[in-house]
Structure formats: C-alpha cells, structure tokens
Amino acid sequence: MRDFPSCFGESGVQVADSSSSNSSRSSQNLVTCFYQCRIRGKSCLISVVWSKNLMGQGLSIGIGDSLNQCLCKVDIKPWLFSKRKGCKSLEIHSREVDIYWDLSSAKFGSGPEPLEGFYVGVVVDRQMILLLGDMRKEAYKKTGATPVPSMAVFVAKKEHVFGKRVFTTKAQFCGNGQIHDLMIECDTIGVSDPSLIILVDGKTLMQVTHLRWKFRGNHTITVDGLAIEVFWDVHNWFFGTSLGNAVFLFKTCLSAEKLWASQTLSDPSTLQWSFSQRFIDSKSQNLGFSLMVYAWKNE
C-alpha cells in the first residue's frame, strides 16, 4: 500500500486511518482542509490543519506535489504571542513561496477553526494563490500581492467530531455554494434496534434501520441539486474491542462503483484505510469535493 507523505501527518496534514491502535483522543481536535492549486504550471496540494489542545490553537500548512510528496511544511503555534502573526518564506519549483498569517484578532468557537478576524495567505511570485479568512483587505495590504483568476480550489476536508448521540459539522459541497448544517444522529447505547439518521439543515435525507446488521454501506442523497454519495462504517461502535470511531465519507462526482472497485471488504481492518486511500486519490484526480468525518462516541 502506498504511504502518505510525511507532511500530511496527523500532527500536520495527513489523511490516515485514525482508528488505528496508536490514535488518541487528542487527535479528535483536528480539522484538515485540502486545496488544489498550480505553482509554475505544476499541480500542487495545499493542506491546512487547524488543531486544538489544552495549550490553545495550532496551525500547520503543508504543500505537496501531484504525487503526494511533501515539498514543505510550516507549523505555527498561535497561542505563543510572537506567532500570532507573521510570514514564512520557502522555495518550491524554483519559485519563492511566502506564507502569511494573522490570527491576533481571531475568534474561535468550540472547534479548532477560527470563525472570523483572521487571514492565512499563500503567495507565489507576488500572486495570492490561496487566501483564507475574512480579513481579505488586510491580507492584500500586508502581502502586496495581487489576486489571480485560478486561485486554489477547496477539494476536500477531514474532520474529527465527537458526541454521545449527535455529531454536527458544516459542509459546503461545491465551490461558492451554500454552507449547510450537517448532522449525524445515532444512539447505540441501550437501544435494541439502533438506526442512523443524517440530516442537512434539519431535514432528514437518509435513515438506516437495523444498523447493527448494516454497519457498513452507501446511499445517495441530493443537496443543492448535487448527487452526494454517503458511505458509512460504524463497525467500531458496535464491535470494537477498544475506544474507536465511526467514519463517514460524503463525496460528489465519484460513483460508488469507482469508489469500491477492486476493494476487498472481507477484512474489517482494511475498510477505513480504504476510505482514506480513496479520499486522497480522488483529490489528485480532481473528482469533486470530499468530506470525511470521524465520529467519536463520548464516554
């Protein structure tokens, strides 16, 4: 099996199987976003990891090539006063790449991602190829960069969420489309016949009954006129020998046949790796948007 690049690590920017035995509860406070761009005509993948622990917020930015090889990685610890704003210069493909950030006024909710009052920018040859946050004017003034028509495209997101019965996140399934409230609801404690319900903006779009026997599967829902394939694996919730997580994959544009092609499902230990592998492969093929959710049950 092909290894993932080192700069995409769980402490940095990795799409990996978080259900493995060496995973920890602290890894839940991570949100990883992937953006596809071009640097000097070559396809690159920018990965941004927002993390949260007892010390505060963290940020890692990795840039990989089309072969998923790490080109650079920058770790930022905004809880240190000197790191709340700054710039880091790197060289990729003989081009100077500057990463700018200002989190000094950032406001956070319960998750690791800032809600407002910040910017993170990646500049190549004085052109802004990626800009995150609501402080766009301040970012352009600070960097002196100009916007480009083909800025980075948001292609995938991986998130750890946790709860007892309900797991919530935000989802934007296409470019500048609407941001939706996504809810996964499942009660597995003291219930003789548990079911799985997925709601978007409070509307039930999918329900799986007899979940103990249908702990893996797929179903297609429609959001914003888009067909979105939902894959679930809740095996660990019912049969895991230790604290584990369920995994959900929401994918646009890729058919179930392609996702599961040549994949052996007889070995439960390989299934969540399969999710992760297909997740990163689909990004490199520009096959739409992927959202992977790791759902952890609170004790």
In a domain, 20, yes or no: no
In a domain, 21, yes or no: no
User: pLDDT at position 239, please?
Assistant: 83
Q: Is the pLDDT of residue 224 over 50?
A: yes
Tell me the percentage of the chain whose pLDDT exceeds 90: 36
User: pLDDT at position 249, please?
Assistant: 95
Residue 107 CA to residue 118 CA, distance in Å, equals 8
User: pLDDT at position 179, please?
Assistant: 87
* pLDDT average, residue stretch 20-45: 70
Q: Is the pLDDT of residue 205 over 90?
A: yes
User: pLDDT at position 242, please?
Assistant: 59
Choice between 27 and 49, residue whose per-residue pLDDT is larger:
49
Closest by CA to 228, choosing from 166, 290, 170, is 290
The conformation of residue 242, written as its DSSP 8-state character, comes to S
* 203 & 166 share domain: yes
Q: How confident is the model at residue 18 (pLDDT cuts 50, 70, 90)?
A: very low
Kind plus residue range of the DSSP H or E element containing 131: strand 127-133
User: pLDDT at position 147, please?
Assistant: 83
* 107 & 176 share domain: no
In a domain, 257, yes or no: yes
* 116 & 60 share domain: yes
Per-residue model confidence as pLDDT tens digits over 183-197 = 999 987 777 889 999
211 by DSSP, 3-state: which?
coil
Q: How confident is the model at residue 119 (pLDDT cuts 50, 70, 90)?
A: very high
* 135 & 168 share domain: no
User: pLDDT at position 80, please?
Assistant: 67
pTM of the predicted protein model: 0.77
Domain boundary among 85, 120, 151: 151
In a domain, 68, yes or no: yes
Residue 151 CA to residue 20 CA, distance in Å, equals 35
User: pLDDT at position 163, please?
Assistant: 87
> 41 Cβ partners below 8 Å, 6+ apart?
none
* 209 & 251 share domain: yes
Residue 47 CA to residue 63 CA, distance in Å, equals 6
N- to C-terminal Cα distance for the chain?
A: 33
Q: How confident is the model at residue 139 (pLDDT cuts 50, 70, 90)?
A: very high
Domain count, the chain: 2
Domain hosting 214: range is 160-297
User: pLDDT at position 215, please?
Assistant: 92
Q: Is the pLDDT of residue 52 over 90?
A: no
Provide the mean pLDDT of the chain: 77
Tell me the percentage of the chain whose pLDDT exceeds 70: 72
Of the candidate ranges 71-85, 148-162, 220-234, the one whose mean pLDDT is the lowest = 71-85
In a domain, 18, yes or no: no
Domain boundary among 119, 151, 183: 151
* pLDDT average, residue stretch 159-177: 86
